[in-house]
């Protein structure tokens, strides 16, 4: 993989963003369908129903989450709202964080931590799943839940409630998604009532955690609210037609003083902050750019993500050990390999990562954001254990060097149970983008994208076992011959033997790693593109202070060692690791102690594993 210093990536990323904006103002000012947009997004997302995931790990995760939430008992989902409103509340308790319970202790039991916190996320995930599948039972369930939630709304719900902004943000997201994707025409009225209920419990501005700790609070958990994540969904509510108040509220809760302002000026203020919520806040900055035209907020998001990628990330793409950002130059990322088993908050972190890379890719057309997205996909979330019917959830990826294993979180229905179904519903819209010139293939995954081109419909169908076989076959189906461009993401790690062929003939297009390859043609029924990538195994140090603690990476895959693990390994042994057969999820390296087995994260089940290895030159 091509390596960049933090400073280089910052400069290149900022330059790419500004260059893209300059071109977009003249060539792509009307690409986005939202008339309320002030900033420019040269690339557009497909609608959820225009991309179909075909059989493969991503489709399996989506189907499992869709089925689980479609089957959830509605009385159980509404129970904490009814209880706190003083209404009859039939049904069993959900358990875990979700219950209305006085058991919660910030230094002990998390039962009843945030009653009903993830209701909006479950509603959002179902609304998006309906948009993907057209499932009428799913649409009906979304609309029943909105009708059931409406009469429970009361400001009393937030009395002595630890995280009002946190929960309202998710409720807002669920309601605007119910309106946008599931056609619920009552959702905006319900949202307005929910907004009126929460406003008396919100501060006058976004508060950093340090500011919350400075206030006199009943217990520590009152210091954990996330007002700084509110603007994204408030801006979206405004853009979708919920009313001007949502734009005004979004502006009110932009954390410009301590976060976006310094980030826009190139100051790395991430260290010490809660990891996921502050990455999630990058998406609020992007919405501020799109709605207000604020280039300051675009710089904040771009710079913040570059700091994340270059100073806070593991070889998997994951970040935030123990949910905290670490000080660059401190060696704390390396130290976490000994001290922590909570290396990356996986479903939440991957959801936030997918969102910000989608935003930045659309605005800049920089394919390296797609590289970052696929690294998170294949090394973290696709290896997450499935959510169980009782709310038992996969939460952390574990990179501990003494012993690491996959497991489930101790409490039921945590935050990651909400972001997981939202993320899997977003897999399709993350795979392709489009502009006036054509379609951008971002993720190489079994899938089908269909859209209108000229006077007819065009479909691209991908067949691939990527990333275990680093190739993809893309077939074109068209009502009529159509002239447009297909852009293929060429990852930054792609070697010089990478090839693209159209109908069996290699194209002469310059395939630059870290760029989209441009293939323009008059496409007709039966045309086929075949792309094949070259990748070599490289080593990535956990941080500059631990140069001899490295992880092997092949293409987009971080490789995890299983079985007997030697105390140390020669660098050359790891770089010479080879896939045991084409399409396999297993590599082998020959060491002085014998053969070392290396696997992808999704292929690991119950065995112990190790990501980073002490090496000798």
- What pLDDT, on the 0 to 100 scale, is given for residue 617? 74
Phi/psi of residue 375, nearest 5 degrees: -65, -45
Query: Model confidence at 540, in pLDDT bands (50, 70, 90)?
Result: very high
> Residue 424 pLDDT more than 60?
yes
Q: Could you count the other beta carbons within 10 Å of the beta carbon of residue 11?
A: 14
Query: Model confidence at 39, in pLDDT bands (50, 70, 90)?
Result: confident
Instruction: Give mean pLDDT, residues 230-259.
Output: 98
Residue pLDDT, tens place only, 133-172: 999 999 999 999 999 999 999 999 999 999 999 999 999 9
* CA atoms of 160 and 157, how far apart (whole Å): 8
* CA atoms of 538 and 559, how far apart (whole Å): 10
Q: Which residue reads 């696709």 in tokens?
A: 382
Query: Model confidence at 36, in pLDDT bands (50, 70, 90)?
Result: low
Instruction: Give mean pLDDT, residues 368-382.
Output: 98
Residue pLDDT, tens place only, 557-571: 999 999 989 888 999
Mean pLDDT of all residues belonging to the chain: 93
**Using alpha carbons only, how large is the chain's radius of gyration in Å?**
24
Measured N-to-C along each axis, helices 164-182 and 119-133 cross at an angle, to the nearest 10 degrees, of 20
Domain ranges of the chain: 1-45+252-430, 438-466+471-532, 537-616
The dihedral region occupied by 319, where left means phi > 0, alpha psi between -120 and 50, and beta the remainder, is beta
Return the minimum-mean-pLDDT range out of 26-30, 369-373, 601-605: 26-30
Nearest by Cα to 352 from 307, 312, 379, 319: 319
Query: Model confidence at 587, in pLDDT bands (50, 70, 90)?
Result: very high
Pairing state between β 549-554 and 537-541: antiparallel
Return the minimum-mean-pLDDT range out of 68-72, 451-455, 471-475: 451-455
Query: Model confidence at 508, in pLDDT bands (50, 70, 90)?
Result: confident
CATH number of this structure's domain 438-466+471-532: 2.60.420
Query: Model confidence at 37, in pLDDT bands (50, 70, 90)?
Result: low
Instruction: Give mean pLDDT, residues 459-466.
Output: 98
Tokens of 185: 């025409």
Residue pLDDT, tens place only, 257-292: 999 999 999 999 999 999 999 999 999 999 999 999
- Residue 563, classified by CB atoms within 10 Å of its CB into exposed (0-12), middle (13-18) or buried (19+), is middle
- Residue 33, classified by CB atoms within 10 Å of its CB into exposed (0-12), middle (13-18) or buried (19+), is exposed
- What pLDDT, on the 0 to 100 scale, is given for residue 575? 96
Distance between first and last Cα of the chain: 20
Query: Model confidence at 22, in pLDDT bands (50, 70, 90)?
Result: very low
Question: What is the DSSP secondary structure assignment for residue 476, as one 8-state letter?
Answer: E
Residue pLDDT, tens place only, 357-374: 999 999 999 999 999 999
């Amino acid at each position: 993989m091509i390596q960049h210093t933090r400073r280089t990536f910052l400069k290149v990323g900022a330059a790419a963003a500004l260059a893209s904006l300059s071109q977009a103002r003249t060539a792509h000012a009307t690409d986005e369908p939202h008339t309320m947009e002030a900033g420019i997004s040269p690339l557009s997302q497909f609608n959820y129903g225009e991309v179909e995931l075909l059989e493969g790990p991503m489709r399996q995760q989506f189907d499992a989450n869709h089925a689980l939430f479609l089957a959830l008992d509605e009385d159980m989902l509404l129970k904490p709202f009814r209880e706190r409103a003083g209404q009859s509340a039939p049904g069993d308790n959900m358990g875990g964080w979700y219950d209305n319970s006085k058991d919660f202790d910030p230094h002990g039991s998390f039962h009843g931590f945030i009653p009903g916190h993830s209701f909006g996320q479950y509603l959002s995930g179902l609304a998006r799943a309906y948009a993907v599948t057209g499932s009428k039972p799913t649409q009906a369930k979304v609309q029943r839940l909105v009708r059931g939630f409406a009469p429970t709304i009361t400001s009393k719900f937030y009395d002595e409630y630890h995280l009002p902004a946190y929960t309202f943000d998710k409720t807002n997201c669920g309601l605007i998604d119910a309106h946008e994707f599931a056609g619920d025409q009552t959702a905006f009225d319900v949202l307005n009532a929910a907004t009126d209920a929460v406003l008396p419990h919100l501060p006058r501005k976004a508060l950093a955690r340090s500011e919350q700790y400075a206030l006199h609070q009943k217990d520590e958990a009152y210091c954990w609210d996330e007002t700084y994540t509110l603007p994204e969904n408030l801006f979206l509510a405004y853009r979708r037609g919920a009313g001007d108040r949502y734009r005004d509220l979004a502006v009110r809760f932009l954390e410009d003083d301590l976060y976006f302002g310094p980030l826009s000026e190139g100051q790395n203020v991430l260290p010490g902050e809660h990891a996921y919520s502050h990455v999630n806040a990058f998406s609020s900055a992007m919405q501020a750019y799109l709605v207000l035209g604020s280039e300051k907020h675009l710089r904040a998001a771009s710079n913040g993500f570059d700091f994340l990628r270059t100073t806070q990330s593991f070889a998997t793409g994951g970040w935030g050990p123990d949910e905290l950002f670490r000080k660059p130059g401190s060696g704390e990322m390396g130290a976490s390999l000994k001290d922590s088993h909570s290396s990356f908050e996986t479903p939440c972190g991957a959801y936030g990562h997918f969102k910000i890379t989608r935003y930045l890719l659309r605005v800049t057309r920089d394919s390296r954001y797609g590289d970052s997205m696929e690294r998170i996909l294949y090394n973290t979330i696709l290896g997450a254990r499935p959510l169980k019917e009782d709310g038992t959830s996969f939460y952390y990826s574990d990179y501990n060097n003494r012993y690491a294993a996959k497991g489930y979180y101790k409490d039921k229905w945590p935050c990651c149970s909400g972001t997981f179904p939202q993320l899997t519903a977003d897999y399709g819209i993350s795979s392709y983008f489009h502009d006036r010139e054509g379609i951008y293939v971002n993720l190489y995954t079994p899938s089908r994208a269909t859209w209108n081109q000229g006077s007819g419909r065009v479909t691209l169908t991908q067949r691939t076992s990527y990333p275990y076989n680093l190739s993809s076959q893309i077939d074109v189906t068209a009502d009529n011959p159509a002239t447009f461009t297909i852009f293929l993401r060429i990852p930054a790690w792609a070697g010089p033997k990478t090839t693209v062929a159209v109908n069996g003939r290699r194209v002469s297009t310059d395939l630059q790693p870290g760029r989209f390859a441009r293939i323009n043609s008059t496409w007709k029924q039966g045309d086929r593109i075949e792309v094949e990538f070259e990748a070599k195994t490289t080593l990535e140090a956990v941080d500059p202070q631990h140069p001899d603690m490295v992880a092997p990476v092949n293409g987009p895959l971080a490789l995890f060692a299983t079985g007997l693990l030697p105390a140390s390994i020669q660098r050359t042994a790891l770089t010479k690791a080879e896939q045991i057969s084409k399409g396999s999820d297993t590599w082998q390296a020959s060491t002085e102690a014998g053969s070392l087995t290396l696997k992808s994260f999704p292929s690991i089940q119950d065995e112990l594993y190790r990501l980073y290895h002490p090496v000798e030159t």
